[in-house]
Chain A
Amino acid sequence: MKKDTLSEKKKHKPARHPADESYLRLVFRRFVHHRLAAVSLIVLGVIVSAALLAPIIAPYDPQDIAGPFAQPPSGSFWLGTDQIGRDMLSRLLYATRISLLVGVMATAISTAIGVLLGLIAGYFGGAADMIIMRFTDMVMSFPYILLVLVAAAIFRPGLVSIILILGFVDWPGIARLVRGNVLGLRETNFVKGSLVAGMPLRHILFSEILPNTVAPILVYATSVLALSILDEAALSFLGQGVQPPTASLGNMLNGAQSLTVLTTQPWLWLPPGLIIICIVIAINFIGDALRDALDPNGGK
Chain B
Amino acid sequence: MGKYILKRILIAIPVLIGITVIDYAIMCMAGSPLAMLQGPRVSEAAIEAKEIALGLDQPVWVQYFLWLKQLLHGNLGYSIKSFQSVSSLIGRHIGPTLLLMGVSLLVSLFLAVPAGIYSAIHQYSKGDYAVVTVSFLGSSVPGFFLSLLLIDLFTVRLGWLPSGGMTTLGTAGGAADVARHMVMPVMVLSFSMAGSNIRYIRSAVLEILHQDYLRTAKAKGIGRFKVIYKHALRNALIPIITVIGMEIPVLFGGAVIVEQIFSWPGLGLMTMSAISSRDYPVIMGVCLLSAVVVLIGNLVTDILYAFADPTIQLD
- List A residues at the B interface (Cβ < 8 Å): 1-6, 8-9, 36, 134-135, 137-147, 149-154, 226, 230, 233-234, 237-240, 253, 256-257, 259, 262-263, 266, 269, 273, 276-277, 280-281, 284-285, 288
Contact A144 B141 (CB under 8 A): no
Mind listing 9 A-B residue pairs with CB under 8 Å?
A: A2-B203, A4-B203, A138-B22, A141-B249, A142-B294, A145-B253, A154-B30, A237-B142, A239-B276
Contact B200 A2 (CB under 8 A): yes
- List B residues at the A interface (Cβ < 8 Å): 11, 14-15, 18-19, 22, 26, 29-30, 123-124, 129, 132-133, 136-137, 139-145, 148-149, 151-152, 156, 199-200, 202-203, 206, 249-250, 252-254, 256-257, 260-261, 271-272, 275-276, 278, 283-284, 286-287, 290-292, 294-295, 298
Residues on the A chain within 8 Å of B298, using CB:
141
Contact A145 B140 (CB under 8 A): no
Contact B256 A5 (CB under 8 A): no
Contact B199 A238 (CB under 8 A): no
Residues on the A chain within 8 Å of B156, using CB:
259, 262-263
In the docked arrangement, what's the CA distance between A281 and B139, Å?
Answer: 8
Contact B136 A285 (CB under 8 A): yes
Residues on the B chain within 8 Å of A154, using CB:
26, 29-30
Most chain-A Cβ atoms within 10 A of its Cβ — which of B18, B30, B144, B292?
A: B144
Residues on the B chain within 8 Å of A134, using CB:
11, 14-15, 18
The listed residue (A36, A135, A150, A237) touching B283 by CB distance below 8 A is A150
In the docked arrangement, what's the CA distance between A151 and B26, Å?
Answer: 8
Contact B295 A141 (CB under 8 A): yes
Residues on the A chain within 8 Å of B292, using CB:
141
The 10 tightest CB contacts between A and B, nearest first, are A145-B253, A143-B252, A281-B140, A273-B145, A138-B18, A280-B140, A141-B291, A143-B253, A143-B249, A153-B275
Contact A142 B140 (CB under 8 A): no
Residues on the A chain within 8 Å of B19, using CB:
138, 141-142
Residues on the A chain within 8 Å of B252, using CB:
143, 146
Contact A240 B18 (CB under 8 A): no
Contact B203 A277 (CB under 8 A): no
